[in-house]
Structure formats: C-alpha cells, structure tokens
Amino acid sequence: MTVDPRDAGRRCSSCGHVEKANRRTQARFRCRACGYELDADLNAAENIRWRADVNQPIVVCRPGGLEAEPQAYTL
C-alpha cells in the first residue's frame, strides 16, 4: 500500500490542523491550534498510520463465494 507522506510532519495527529509552524524544531511537534505536543517522528507516524487505515480497500464477496450467481439483496 502506498501512503502520501505530504504534510505528515506538519499535520496534528490529534485535531488535523496543518501548519508549518507546528514543527518548531526537527524533534518536537506542537500544534498551534490545539496545543497538542509529541515527538515529531511519532506525530508523523500517527498521521501516516491514519492515512493507511483510511485508504484500506473495500472488499465485498457474494454469499456463496465468487462463483455464485449475482442476486438482488434486501438490506
């Protein structure tokens, strides 16, 4: 799976706010919107993990497997 890493180091993994000033040093992250603080690498890793979770493929199989005839189903 491919995950776009853009702004992962600038996005707050708590509130989602993206700003260059959130990354005050190479090592520390502090969100200017909500005040959330974390090691910068851990914050970026949380953002990448969240993006990977959001981009999971949706797989649907018919009852009876892939060889079964398609039918109309009522929810």
Q: Into how many domains does the chain fold?
A: 1
Let me know if residue 45 belongs to a domain.
yes
Amino acid at 38: L
Q: What is the pTM of this model?
A: 0.66
Let me know if residue 61 belongs to a domain.
no
Q: Provide the domain limits for residue 44.
A: 1-54
Average pLDDT, the chain: 81
With b for 16 or more beta-carbon neighbours within 10 A and e for fewer, the 29-55 pattern comes to bbbeeeebebebeebbebbbeebeeee
Report the pLDDT value the prediction gives residue 46, as an integer from 0 to 100.
93
Let me know if residue 29 belongs to a domain.
yes
Let me know if residue 60 belongs to a domain.
no
Q: What is the largest CA-CA distance in the chain?
A: 59
Let me know if residue 32 belongs to a domain.
yes
Let me know if residue 69 belongs to a domain.
no
Let me know if residue 70 belongs to a domain.
no
Which is more confidently placed, 27 or 7? 27
Let me know if residue 72 belongs to a domain.
no
Could you read off the pLDDT of 55-72 as tens digits, one per residue?
655 555 656 665 656 555
